[in-house]
Amino acid sequence: MKMIINGEWVDSSDKQVINVINPATGEVTETVPQATAEDVQRALETAQRGKKIWGAYKPAERAEILLRAAKMYREEQETIATLETKEAGKTYPQALAEIDNVCALFTGYAELIRHRYETVLPSETDLIYVTEEPLGVVVCVIPFNFPVDLFSYKVAPALAAGNAVIVKPASDTPTADIYMVDVLIRAGVPKEAIQVITGKGSVVGRLLAESPLVNGITLTGSTAAGIDVNEHAAKNLTRVMLELGGNDSLIVLDDADIDETVQMVMDGRVFNAGQICIANKRLLVHNSIREAFTKALVARLEKVVVGDPFDPKTEMGSLVSEAAADQVEKQVAYTVAQGAKCILGGHKIRYGFFEPTVLVNVTPDMDIAKDLEVFGPVFPIIGFDTDEEAVAITNQSSYGLSGGIATANTRRGIALAKQIDSGGVIVHGTGMYRTLDMPFSGHKHSGLGIGEGMSVSLEEMSIKKSIVIKNAL
């Protein structure tokens, strides 16, 4: 599959490619171009024309095209989900479910821009009104774990606001994003205003980040990647919006229902093989129920069906790559070497598949209890005795993306939520909760900016301008 620059399906200028590997089979299913600096420059120059062309469209005209794209995404959802399942290893039903958010986001932003109003400020003699204009060229860096869903969280508001967009997919999962861009062009977005360029983040991503022709960058990825992009963008004062790593805790209080909480934990960590930034990566369980909770969790995890992502019986597919599974195995072994005990799983099965894994005897001073983010189906259980201790363990991490509290006492849960330093806290649930509207961003090393979501993203993708008519009143 080729990348799309200026509406053309093109190879890289030096013909180099990246293999796209199905992590469930180990087979090469596709190749994509390894873009060069020349390719990046061509895309950037095209986008300069695109921001003028697309920015001149009236909001109602942009809305009509976005609505058409939403309809086409629904019509072509099986193709998109199949591409994602083959390259990401997630189960087909999970990939298909992402289309619901895609359609809702493109439809939602189409409606929002139809009802966007300028603001008039008070003055005794002058007319002051504040309007919002597109940033210009926005680079959307898409992660591998939700390449379709998060494409829409970024691209839909960027286009709705009138920006030209360059999509940079993850190297492991580029094909679904290329297809998503093609749909937008077929729906009517000018070819200069939506492009996709493939290649390694350390090369292509950095070239885009440091370019003075870029006005905004939105990235979901690791904290290291976000810091690198921010550093290179800073010399041009490019606006940067980052959703980064997390090591979210779920605090299970002594009054929590064990069976309900175990199911909650399963939903928050088995989904997508645990490759979710807001998955419950640290299980803080009150010592009075820790043994019973652990026993119930192991019993449930032993029944999880791991296998072919296209098999309807499969509950958990593979990680995104064999290298990712190897990394999780090393992290588990490292934690065991620090003193934890692995009582279930702990090993790669084959290719990108990894066993559901439970670690006990995990103490707050271990890396996994602080800043070691494990992107896989690993359940470290950390005991505590008081609410204050649970908050302290949670907040000792340099991350602060999301978190959850399992309790029968809502008032107690809210009191704890107010003390947790993260972008979101869910009472009666895990941190794996996100609506289309809520501002999704992290504290500390988990993010930068006001967040993604229909309540805030148009503002992030725009720049304000005050226009004054003196002595108009």
Region 334-345: what's the mean pLDDT? Answer: 98
The CA distance from 198 to 417, in Å, is 40
- pLDDT for the residue numbered 447: 96
50-98-463-425 Cα dihedral, nearest 10 degrees:
-160
Q: What is the pLDDT of the chain when averaged over all its residues?
A: 97
- The residue length of the chain stands at 473
Nearest in space to 18 (alpha carbons), one of 5, 6, 36: 36
The CA distance from 352 to 358, in Å, is 18
Active-site choice (84, 192, 243, 373): 243
pLDDT tens digit string along 216-244? 999 999 999 999 999 999 999 999 999 99
Give me the percent of the chain exceeding a pLDDT of 70.
100
- The DSSP line for 315-349 is SB---S-HHHHHHHHHHHHHHHHTT-EEEE--SEE
Region 125-146: what's the mean pLDDT? Answer: 97
Give the chain's domains with CATH numbers.
3-244+446-468 (3.40.605.10), 249-427 (3.40.309.10)
pLDDT tens digit string along 393-431? 999 999 999 999 999 999 999 999 999 999 999 999 999
Sign of CA dihedral 61, 64, 70, 74: negative
Give me the percent of the chain exceeding a pLDDT of 90.
98
pTM, 2 dp: 0.97
140 is catalytic: no
pLDDT tens digit string along 272-316? 999 999 999 999 999 999 999 999 999 999 999 999 999 999 999
pLDDT tens digit string along 361-396? 999 999 999 999 999 999 999 999 999 999 999 999
- pLDDT for the residue numbered 253: 98
103 is catalytic: no
Q: How close are the terminal C-alpha atoms of the chain, in Å?
A: 60
Active-site choice (277, 329, 355, 460): 277
The CA distance from 192 to 55, in Å, is 11
> Hunting for tokens 């490759």 — which residue is that?
275
| Contact in structure between 443 and 423 (CB atoms under 8 Å) | yes
pLDDT tens digit string along 5-40? 999 999 999 999 999 999 999 999 999 999 999 999
pLDDT tens digit string along 85-112? 999 999 999 999 999 999 999 999 999 9
